A and B are shown apart, each in its own frame.
Chain A
Amino acid sequence: MNPRRRPTRLTRTALATLALTLGATACSGGGGSPDSKGPAKGAPKAQVRAVSIGAAAESKGPAKELAGAKPGGTATVLERADFNHLDPARVYVSHEQTAELLISRQLTTYKQEGDHTTLVGDLATDTGTSPDGGKTWTFTLKDGLKYEDGSPITAQDVKYGIERSFAKEITGGPTWIQEWLVGNSDFRSVYDGPYGGRELDAIKTPDARTITFALPAPRGDFPFAVAMHTSTPVPRAKDTKLEYDKHPFSSGPYKISAREIDKSMTMVRNEHWDPNTDAVRHAYPDQWKFEFGASNQQINERLIAANGGDRTAMTFRVAVGREVAQQVLTTPDLKARTADAATPYTEYFEINNRRQTNPKVRQALIAAFPKEQVRQILGGPAYGEFATTLMGPTVLGFEPFDLAGVPNTGDPAKAKQLLAEAGTPNPTITYAYNQTPLWEQVSVTIVQALQQAGFKVVPQPINDKSYYTEIGRMDNKYDLYWSGWGADWPSAATVLPAKFDGRKIIDDGSVYNLYNNPAMSTEMDRITAMSDVVAAGKEWSNLEKKIMAESPVVPFVYRRQLTLYGPGLGGVRVGFIGSTYPIDVWVK
């Protein structure tokens, strides 16, 4: 998500309740106003609304026409790096998932109209039915679904697509469905994919249009889970295994016509895609051209200049960076060409709870941490709102609170006092960071602020490529390190257990803070089993407060997505997963 840094990993994608109006917050600032050190701004005024589950009627195509939209033309997408994965079973990063919107379809998907988001059937006629409270789920495919070669999309292909995500070669994608189907987080030990000739008995396809999933335990979230790309149909005959990543077989409105890895890609219309079967995709442009390889700054400069072909260019995820934020946000013409919304991502500076066992020291870290200064280097208000909680405002049940009560610029005096109470006035803190020019600069300011509070700070750069591997080690020797997390769908069940369940501490896991409190883990189990999502949201928020009271991390910001697009495009908006969406875009 933070595109300048690493394309992988941190970006657990997110499906969030949108309906967030961030416009009310600080984004309109700018100019030479020197008030950056003013009082801390309040939590974002995010209006959180649950995603409703749509009726079958809402799953019917075609998607509602947009005012002013017209078909035709070529739209361009500029990205810093090529997509690592396009194999639907392997995508898990938001901009890759965004690209998939054009070339693949799933059992369910999200429909966004105005500030209203609904889960609807995509390939399926509805969002699935379960006669037994969530153990068995049945989906019926729509009529007239076709691949790029005109052959029909069948329930067997959906099954095969899920089966292949069990194969040991096919890594990288989400694992919810796989784990739920076999009831084991080490799902590959139970079933190792279709390449050995075995089938997965938990999925039944009585006919070409019906698919039934039998789960060992009830999962009320199943319709949300199949909105992820794991449920994309793949015909067995077209499965090229590892090569599939380069050139997947399209079930969506476009197909890949040319691809030069790391340089460019062209998508043209899939003539066999029938808009009448699709409730969300508009597919106005005739063609999508992707260009890779420019730096984020160069992409932003091109979008600002909007010369020639860049008039109709956009980007899925290259945020308006610090170098151009002031220019963009203070120039009305440019500001009008931005897509802007809060994303499901929350960023933290993780504290290593195994090394820093004294809660006072952790509190002192939170008190001393210079959020405002760090955000100023990363891009200022355009980067996001300051966070004081563990979940982001897009998660169901989110309630703002601030237990630490320190200014965003940090409070060295309070930190000193906490350290004195802890009995260690000068603890040594090893701050690990990603070795890029940007994070090197951030390290300068963090080191200074912590030193002011009495900490002895050892900054340790880590190679960009191995950053997550290094901080993901259970025995890592660092005390403080950045990371980010977003919900896979708008439930805290995809946030708190992923980040704070001590039982999930493994090498290369996601509990980077190594926080382990069995009482909290038990509570997580209890809430996960609740069937009423709204009631569960309240419980999650209560649990969140209890965890935060132990100061396991320094909450940093709720990320905001602010991207530029060319004046020749309409319908550009930030989508559900926190990236800028192509499905409503038209060429003016």
Chain B
Amino acid sequence: MFRFLVQRLLGAALILFVVFTVTFFLFFAMPDDPARLSCGKTCTPETLALIRRDLGLDASVPMQYWHYIVGVFAGRDFGSSHCSAPCLGYSFVNHEPVLDTLLDRFPATLSLALGASVIFLGGGIMIGMLAALRRGTWLDKSTMAFSLIGASVTIQFLGVIARYVLVDELRWLPKPEYLPFTDDPGGWTGGLLLPWLTLACVQAAVYARLTRASMIDALGEDHVRTVRAKGLTSRQVYFKHAWRGAITPVVTVYGIELGVLLGGAVVTETTFNIPGIGKLAVNAVANSDLPMITGVVLIAATAMVLANVAVDAVYAVIDPRVRV
């Protein structure tokens, strides 16, 4: 197990390195000069040169790449500001190290992802199992129809309509906003309720369909048939044996999904104005904030790669057939 994890983590690091390198060089194709944008209206050539030097933009692209890598391990200085290791660059728009901003925005994204996960995993798996158990009945058909619609609706549409009906008109839910959990747990829950439900509605559908399908598969497998033949009750078959096989694809899909979500649910965060990684990315693109874009891509890729490793590890635990 230990060797397996180390192996996977090394592989992950390598992938991240490649992702980073590709990102870095791709974005240096950007036509906007970051120094020029930072310089503003009354820009003199001296100021421009100063900013360029401070941001380390006076070096050649390969040298800048090297500086960046050194910065990650040893930290570096940008003009009068120090960016300590691991330094992911310095945003000339926000005037602070990229990592600081990322860490600052991450709790919002994490809150959104985890809260929504609880709802859509719980809801989706339950609906899926019920549907599998009552296969062919109206319950199965109607939940699956609902899932299909849920999986097909776009967040930007559902979010706005839900907000209009549930918040503005009926006033059943508090207005969507992000308040840090540590400041105000009640406000955190209330403000995120609508974003969670919206995101969960779309996601739960996927898990319901997935759970139902894999549950049906699992019920047909040899070892489940065997235990059933031995005379165990349906309930025992269901909850002791079949779910193990059924849960594996759910874990796989969820692992990847979580990785994506932790990299920022861009549309959800934009629709509800949650100051997370996704919103940060949209802003960074709008501001041509190169170091920030690179940083966001890097952290999102990290989340995805780590989620994949985690999925592999969880596999090993829940599915005895997977040998590591």
Contact = CB atoms under 8 A, between A and B. Distances in A.
Is any CB of A less than 8 Å from a CB of B in the complex? yes
Interface string B209-235: 000000000000000000000000000
B94 A262 contact: yes
B279 A508 contact: no
Nearest to A242: B80
Given A242-B80, A263-B275, A294-B273, A168 B46 contact: yes
Nearest to B175: A307
Interface string B275-291: 10001000100111000
Contact of B96 (A171, A261, A298, A465): A261
Nearest to B104: A260
A305 interface: yes
Contacts of A242: 79-80
A331 interface: no
Contact of B95 (A261, A305, A463, A469): A261
Contacts of A305: 167-168, 175
A465 B43 contact: no
Interface string B139-180: 000000000000000000000000000011000001100000
A424 interface: no
B32 interface: yes
A139 B96 CA distance: 39
B165 to A, nearest CB: 14
A508 B44 CA distance: 11
A295 interface: yes
Interface residues of A, number: 34
B32 A171 contact: no
Contacts of A245: 95
B80 A243 contact: yes
A289 interface: no
Contacts of B288: 463, 465
A84 B283 CA distance: 15
A301 to B, nearest CB: 8
A465 B286 CA distance: 8
Interface string A3-23: 000001100000000000000
B41 A8 contact: yes
Contacts of B81: 243
A8 B275 contact: no
B12 interface: no
A465 B168 contact: no
A241 interface: yes
Contacts of B236: none
B214 to A, nearest CB: 40
Interface string A262-289: 1100000000000000000000000000
A33 interface: no
A8 B43 CA distance: 13
Nearest to B49: A168
Contact of A168 (B50, B95, B104, B283): B50
A76 B47 CA distance: 35
Given A463-B32, A465-B32, A171 B273 contact: no
Contacts of B136: none
Given A169-B50, A171-B47, A9 B41 contact: yes
A314 B231 CA distance: 70
A175 interface: yes
A241 B40 contact: no
B42 interface: yes
Contacts of A243: 80-81
The residue among A92, A261, A302, A464 with the most chain B CB atoms within 10 A of its own CB is A261
Contacts of B104: 260, 263
B32 A466 contact: yes
Nearest to B94: A261
Nearest to B39: A171
Interface in A439-469: 463-466, 468-469
Contacts of A469: 36
Contacts of B36: 469
Contacts of A466: 32, 37
A295 B80 contact: no
A508 B275 CA distance: 34
B41 A172 contact: yes
Interface in A142-187: 168-169, 171-172, 175
Contact of B273 (A188, A298, A308, A463): A298
B41, B81, B104 pick with most chain A CB within 10 angstroms: B41
Given A168-B46, A261-B96, A263-B275, A241 B41 contact: no
A309 to B, nearest CB: 9
Contacts of B94: 261-262
A4 to B, nearest CB: 12
A463 B175 CA distance: 33
Given A293-B273, A307-B174, A465-B287, A508 B43 contact: yes
A168 B44 contact: yes
Contacts of A92: 41
Given A261-B94, A262-B94, A298-B273, A168 B47 contact: yes
A545 interface: no
Given A169-B50, A171-B47, A172-B41, A293 B279 contact: yes
A305 B93 CA distance: 32
B291 to A, nearest CB: 14
Choose among B42, B46, B168, B275 the residue with the greatest number of A CB atoms under 10 Å from its CB: B42
A246 interface: yes
- Which residue, A246, A308, A468, has most C-beta atoms of chain B within 10 A? A308
Interface string B80-107: 1100000000000111100001001000
A412 to B, nearest CB: 36
Top-7 shortest CB links A-B: A171-B42, A261-B94, A294-B273, A168-B46, A298-B273, A307-B175, A9-B41
Given A8-B41, A9-B41, 15 more contacts: A168-B44, A169-B50, A171-B42, A175-B42, A241-B80, A242-B79, A243-B80, A243-B81, A262-B283, A263-B104, A293-B283, A307-B175, A308-B175, A463-B32, A465-B32
Interface of B: 32, 36-37, 39-44, 46-47, 50, 79-81, 93-96, 101, 104, 167-168, 174-175, 273, 275, 279, 283, 286-288
25 contacts: A8-B41, A92-B41, A168-B50, A169-B47, A171-B39, A171-B43, A171-B44, A172-B42, A188-B44, A241-B80, A246-B95, A260-B104, A261-B95, A262-B93, A262-B101, A263-B275, A293-B279, A293-B283, A305-B167, A305-B175, A308-B174, A308-B175, A463-B32, A465-B32, A468-B41
